[in-house]
């Protein structure tokens, strides 16, 4: 699978989201951070904004729900047309039913692990999921420093994929920039979320291309030359 670059609109200008989506031409997914001020100490946006964004862009939306009670709220994002809907392991009550419902609603199902959450505790439910989001910062805010100590978790997930024990996209989120993306790619991530690493730059599309080039150069597996 080719590497995926997912700019996070958390660092975009919220008054011009349609333009900000258009500015990341070449991005694979557009990462949308939904925060409820309960699961994390920050409040962002919800379903109405996601619905408007779906109208405004053709880039598949990758919705990262940092909310309490995702069992109640997540499926609506899938039904609205989000491409991937990620819930947090620490918040979901019934992870298997959650994944089944997300897939039934037409989305890919994602499971996210906070830095302190062990991968091994979730291996049994992960066969129901399509994407595994390994947080490389504490969720809640953009612009934080990448946690290199999470690379061991990424490597373990990659090994499970390589050995056929898991079939998930291994996604990293938090502090990804032109420097840190090398380490995440070497550890075996194949989807890279970047907020300030894209929207903190004047040339957003250039930032996406540069991140892709860096990740491809350091990827664990050979990448197609056209990627
Ligand atoms: C943080 C969010 C991230 C955030 C990353 O809780 O999940 O998606 O946008 O921002 P950067 O790339 O600036 O760390
Ligand atoms: Zn995120």
Domain CATH for 149: 3.20.20.70
Is the pTM value of this prediction over 0.85? Answer: yes
- The order of strands in the sheet holding 4-7 is 4-7, 191-194, 169-173, 131-135, 108-113, 84-88, 61-66, 30-35
Q: For position 220, what pLDDT does the model report?
A: 83
| Residue 202, burial from CB neighbour count under 10 angstroms (0-12, 13-18, 19+) | exposed
Does residue 223 register a pLDDT over 60?
A: no
Give the range of the structural domain holding residue 77, as residue numbers without chain letter: 4-218
State the chain's mean pLDDT as an integer.
96
In a domain, 179, yes or no: yes
Mean pLDDT of 115-139: 98
In a domain, 223, yes or no: no
Does residue 214 register a pLDDT over 60?
A: yes
In a domain, 60, yes or no: yes
Ligand 1 closest atom vs CA 197: 12
In a domain, 55, yes or no: yes
For residue 101, what are the contacts with CB-CB under 8 A and spacing of at least 6?
74, 75, 78
Provide the percentage of residues in the chain whose pLDDT is more than 70: 96
User: What's the pLDDT band for 158 if we cut at 50, 70, 90?
Assistant: very high
Mutation pick for ligand 1 pocket among 14, 193, 199, 207 (CB with most ligand atoms within 8 Å): 193
Ligand 2 centroid to 65 CA: how many Å? 8
CA 120 to mean position of chain CA atoms: 20
In the chain, which ranges are continuous DSSP H helix? 17-22, 47-56, 70-80, 95-104, 151-162, 180-187, 196-199, 204-218
In a domain, 225, yes or no: no
In a domain, 114, yes or no: yes
User: What's the pLDDT band for 159 if we cut at 50, 70, 90?
Assistant: very high
User: What's the pLDDT band for 226 if we cut at 50, 70, 90?
Assistant: very low
CB atoms within 10 A of CB 209: 15
Does residue 138 register a pLDDT over 70?
A: yes
How distant, in Å, are the alpha carbons of 100, 107, 118, 191 from that of 76? 14, 10, 28, 24
Q: For position 168, what pLDDT does the model report?
A: 98
pLDDT in tens, 180-196: 999 999 999 999 999 99
- Dihedral angle, C-alpha 121, 138, 50, 122, nearest 10 °: 0
User: Which tokens belong to 52?
Assistant: 């408007």
Ligand 1 centroid to 78 CA: how many Å? 21
Instruction: Name the DSSP letter for residue 137.
Output: S
Number of domains in the chain: 1
Asked if 86 contacts 131 with a C-beta cutoff of 8 angstroms, the reply is yes
In a domain, 149, yes or no: yes
Ligand 2 centroid to 162 CA: how many Å? 25
In a domain, 195, yes or no: yes
Dist CA 165 CA 105 (whole Å): 25
| Catalytically active residues, by annotation | 33, 173
Mean pLDDT of 58-78: 98
- Dihedral angle, C-alpha 69, 70, 71, 72, nearest 10 °: 70
For residue 15, what are the contacts with CB-CB under 8 A and spacing of at least 6?
none
CB atoms within 10 A of CB 186: 15
């Amino acid at each position: 699978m080719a590497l995926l670059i997912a700019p996070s609109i958390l660092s975009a200008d919220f008054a011009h989201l349609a333009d900000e989506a258009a500015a990341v031409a070449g991005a694979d997914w557009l990462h949308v951070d939904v925060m409820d001020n309960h699961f994390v100490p920050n409040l962002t946006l919800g379903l109405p904004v996601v619905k408007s964004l779906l109208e405004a862009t053709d880039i598949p939306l990758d919705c990262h729900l940092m909310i309490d009670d995702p069992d109640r709220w997540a499926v609506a994002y899938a039904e609205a047309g989000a491409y991937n809907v990620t819930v947090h392991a620490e918040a979901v009550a019934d992870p298997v039913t959650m994944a089944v419902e997300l897939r039934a609603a037409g989305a890919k199902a994602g499971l996210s692990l906070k830095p302190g959450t062990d991968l091994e505790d979730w291996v049994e439910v992960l066969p129901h999921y399509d994407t595994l989001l390994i947080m490389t910062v504490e969720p809640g805010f953009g612009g934080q420093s990448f946690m290199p100590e999470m690379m061991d978790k990424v490597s373990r997930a990659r090994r499970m994929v390589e050995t056929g024990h898991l079939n998930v996209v291994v996604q990293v989120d938090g502090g990804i920039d032109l420097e840190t993306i090398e380490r995440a790619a070497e550890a075996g991530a194949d989807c890279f979320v970047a907020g300030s690493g894209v929207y903190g730059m004047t040339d957003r599309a250039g930032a996406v291309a540069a991140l892709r080039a860096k990740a491809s150069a350091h990827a664990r597996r050979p990448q197609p030359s056209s990627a």
